[in-house]
Amino acid sequence: MQSTLNALMWRSMDAPMSPVAASRRLASLDTELTADVVAFCPYEGRRHLLVCGCYQLVKGSEPARRVGRLQLFDTAQRKLDELHRVDGPGHLDCAWAPPATGAQLLATASAEGAAHFYRLGEGGDELAADGAVACPDAGDACISIDWCHADGAPPRLALSSTAGRLFVLDAGAGGGARCVHAWHAHDDNGWSVAFDRAEPHSLYSGGDDLVLKRWDLRTASASEEGDDDGGDSCVAVAASNRRSHGAGVCCISPHPLLPHVVATGSYDEKVRLWDTRNLRQPTAECGCGGGVWRLKWHPTDSSLALAACMHAGFKVLRLAAPSDAEPEPAMSEVAAYCEHGMGQALAYGADWAHDGAHADALLAGTCSFYDHALHLWDCAPSAVVE
């Protein structure tokens, strides 16, 4: 297969592909409730802010009831100083609205089968609940959430659910967000969903049915668009892969700079790279030693990705440029962080800090399930070895 990444694209990356030194813990704390997602704030002047989301099943409750919490932290002093907390529904995923939208807004996928919105206060020290949008027939919960990141595209959200259904929300409507598309996408839990970073009409999803799919939102039936009664839209599958993943597709991470490049993580303990123009087989694989629940590209050194690997801790992976000897891209592990109490705990939540939080280090926030722990740590880039 012809290489999907040419030399010009690789030279355009923001940072050199330098080696990464050993990781170092800076701070940690007990989140009290089981923690499963973290997200650094992307907004200028507020990139030191970190949010952690939790959800927990209330033992003995009938019917089953899940509670949750959002906690907002200041990491400016390389500490985890809690600024604010909001109790409410269980949160399984969260994402900040892209800075281009002008809205300092956090959206979460909840155990109530809805998208919940929280607005960052003017002082940057609190989160205020800003409404919710129900996702019809979502099953037990909404699991994954992603904003449309493409410049000039209208603010939209996509969510996946335990019922295998996907939802697209219009987040720019004058009266608030509303669900405009909903359809059955997977025959089991829909673990992951993500918009293409360059083509806002392309949406990727993955499920416990081992299937990776790319959807073309331009095909969504006009008769259903904007319909709020929960009726299904008709959206065409542009491409799919049913054979390559050995277990459920837990996460999908389109590359922020390189078109047609998407990474997936799976319960089968592998990260895979894909050329989205041909999903017949991945272009590269990297074993991580544990199920890959989260995968985040670094916002400035986009050759690096951070993986939450469940029972195997957290891994820093490097994306290597193709060469004459190796015409396809490759990924390899260059650092690990295993200071969470792994045992029965699951490495679930992971995110990189944005440029400006700590310019001299690669700063990460991670959280683990069952032991309800949140950690702040860094990797210092070392000199390139000739």
Does the global pTM surpass 0.85? Answer: yes
Q: Which of 146, 162, 365 is nearest to 254 (CA)?
A: 146
DSSP string, 266-298: ETTSEEEEEETTBTTS-SEEEE-SS---EEEE-
Question: Cα angle vertex 320, ends 315, 325, to 5°?
Answer: 140
Q: Which of 249, 267, 234 is nearest to 190 (CA)?
A: 249
Supply the pLDDT for residue 3.
43
Q: Which of 258, 285, 262 is nearest to 275 (CA)?
A: 262
186-218 in b/e burial notation, b at 16+ Cβ within 10 A? beebbbbbbbbbbbbbbbbbbbbbbbbbbbebe
| Eight-state DSSP code of residue 310 | B
Please write the tens of the pLDDT for every residue from 136-173.
999 999 999 999 988 778 899 999 999 999 999 998 75
Please name each of the domains of the chain with its CATH number.
7-380 (2.130.10.10)
What the block records as the tokens of 189 is 């839990």
Mean pLDDT for 202-223 is: 91
Cα–Cα distances in Å, from 136 out to 86, 126, 227?
A: 25, 30, 12
Supply the pLDDT for residue 228.
47
